[in-house]
Amino acid sequence: MLNGKKIVLGVTGGIAAYKAATLCSRLVQKGADVHVIMTDSAKQFITELTLQTLTRNVVYSDTFDEREPSVVSHIHLADMADLVLVAPATANVIAKMAHGMADDMLSTTLLATTAPVMIAPAMNVHMYDHPAVQHNMRLLVDRGTLMIEPSEGQLACGYVGKGRLEEPETIVEVVEQFFESKEAAKQGLNQPVSLLKGKKVVVTAGGTIERIDPVRYITNDSSGKMGFAIAAAARDLGAEVTLVMGSTQVQPPANVDVIRVQSAQDMYEAVSRHWGHADIVVKAAAVADYRPKEVFEEKMKKKGDTLSLELVKNIDILETLGKQKSHQFLIGFAAETHSVEMYAREKLERKNCDLIVANDVARPGIGFGADTNAVHIYDRKGLVEELQVMSKEDIAHRLLVIAAERIAGRN
């Protein structure tokens, strides 16, 4: 997968920079053509000569040290890259990337490139948790930067916690998966795919809106991107798609039947109308578990210092469908912030799903709002597949291929 791939590797100044040597070595062993850019701080931890020897390529660090007169180095590197990987990525380079700063060789290249960018942060646990760093990472993820989260453990600064650069072997695996899924998506687009030809697929997307009064409501952060990606992937695989969408931040895909709804009850009624004929139902929507007991017909007036709203339980659409299931292949999602596997598998059982897609929405770049996701797909027997950080389109495609194969297996 990495054979001949041009990877521009940005190495920034943290103690984990020493792991860049192993990372370079592993990438080169896999056939990648690695071009390193070091920041001045990185050179305090590891030498240019080490990385040059391992990659057999010139190592760059000074924007003005133009070694090849026929090109402008940072533009040349930006243009040639199939992937720009920053590992380790310090809080400083993350902040520079988030705010478009370009004051050295690495940051100018990052700003000039149109290639996919992947970062592997590494820093002290409190720096990692700092709202500024978290905010900057969210900005990057929302712009499509792929994130390889740090792992937890003993940090060089003496703390134990999250902030350790992911092991070079794992980073290489993520890079390989990235190119694999790109390749698969390319093939999927080039082939007249008919894996779901003749199948009716119902997808829910977005968040529900539970009215309080004519101008106020309860909702959530779902952008609709995950559900839309599933609807588009099902369409591209030849299915007839009905998309039931609540509140979203992006436009639905073309050539699918769109039903717009607001509340959980509306969504339930819309899905129910299509349930009988559906072959696959995917519940990617974030449905409110509760709604206000009373919906005021006129705008509520401000009274007193506190206000209590009484909420009542909404119908659980997925659980209700699970109880009525006959031939349908039912896929649920589980958005969790802790004990992800346990809660997801409990939902799979209780809601009688064929598959459940668990996303750890506490991780930046995963779940709500982002263009990327990382999921574990479970069936009753356990883990079916783990999909590391990748575009929601790639996740959607893989999920539907698994569903199609299982349906074919049943028949």
Is 299 assigned to a binding site? yes
Nearest of 40, 33, 75 to residue 56 by alpha carbon: 33
Query: Binding segment for ligand PMT among 63-71, 117-125, 137-145, 283-291 (CB under 6 A)?
Result: 283-291
CB 260 → ligand PMT: shortest distance, Å?
15
Is 296 assigned to a binding site? no
Q: From the DSSP assignment, how many helices (H) and strands (E) are in the chain?
A: 13, 19
Tell me which DSSP letter residue 20 carries. Answer: H
Q: What share of the chain is helix, strand, coil (3-state, %, to 5)?
A: 35, 25, 40
| Residue 195 or 318 with smaller CB distance to ligand PMT | 318
| Residue 81 or 287 with smaller CB distance to ligand PMT | 287
User: How are strands ordered across the β-sheet holding 280-283?
Assistant: 257-260, 240-245, 200-205, 280-283, 329-336, 355-360, 372-379, 382-391
Is 178 assigned to a binding site? no
Question: How far is the C-alpha of 131 from the C-alpha of 12, rounded, in Å?
Answer: 21
Annotation says 157 is catalytic = yes
Letters for 340-379 (x = contact with ligand PMT by CB under 6 A, - = none) are -------x-----------x-x-----xxx----------
Residue whose structure tokens are 């409190």: 126
Q: Is 171 in the site for ligand PMT (CB under 6 A)?
A: no
**Contact indicator for 182, 148 with CB cutoff of 8 Å:** no
Q: Please calculate the CA angle 176-370-280 and round it to the nearest 5 degrees.
A: 80
Checking DSSP bridges between strand 311-313 and strand 329-336, what pairing results, if any? Answer: unpaired
| 225 alpha-carbon distance from chain centroid | 10
* Cα radius of gyration rounded to whole Å, the chain: 24
**Which structure tokens are listed for 156?**
């060089």
| Coil/strand/helix, residue 358 | strand
List, in sequence order, every residue forming a beta bridge with 410; answer none if it has no partner.
none
Is 289 assigned to a binding site? yes
CB 177 → ligand PMT: shortest distance, Å?
19
Query: Binding segment for ligand PMT among 80-88, 112-120, 172-180, 329-337 (CB under 6 A)?
Result: 329-337
**Which structure tokens are listed for 130?**
């700092």
Q: Is 286 in the site for ligand PMT (CB under 6 A)?
A: yes
Q: Is 332 in the site for ligand PMT (CB under 6 A)?
A: yes
Q: Is 223 in the site for ligand PMT (CB under 6 A)?
A: yes
AA identity, residue 160: V
CB 368 → ligand PMT: shortest distance, Å?
4
Q: Is 285 in the site for ligand PMT (CB under 6 A)?
A: yes
Q: Kindly state the number of chain residues that form the binding site for ligand PMT, as judged by CB under 6 A.
A: 27
| Residue 224 or 252 with smaller CB distance to ligand PMT | 224
By residue count, the chain amounts to: 411
| Residue 266 or 316 with smaller CB distance to ligand PMT | 316
CB 401 → ligand PMT: shortest distance, Å?
18
CB 61 → ligand PMT: shortest distance, Å?
39
Is 351 assigned to a binding site? yes
Residue whose structure tokens are 């997801």: 344
| Residue 316 or 385 with smaller CB distance to ligand PMT | 316
Q: Which of 125, 157, 259, 384 is catalytic?
A: 157
Among 136, 145, 222, 263, binds ligand PMT (CB under 6 A): 222
Q: Provide φ and ψ at 145, rounded to 5°.
A: -70, 135
| Residue 236 or 393 with smaller CB distance to ligand PMT | 393
Binding residues: 289, 299, 333, 347, 351
> What are the residues binding ligand PMT (CB under 6 A)?
222-227, 264, 283-287, 289, 314, 316-318, 332-335, 347, 359, 361, 367-369
User: Which parts are annotated binding residues for CTP?
Assistant: 289, 299, 333, 347, 351
Give the residue numbers marked as catalytic. 157
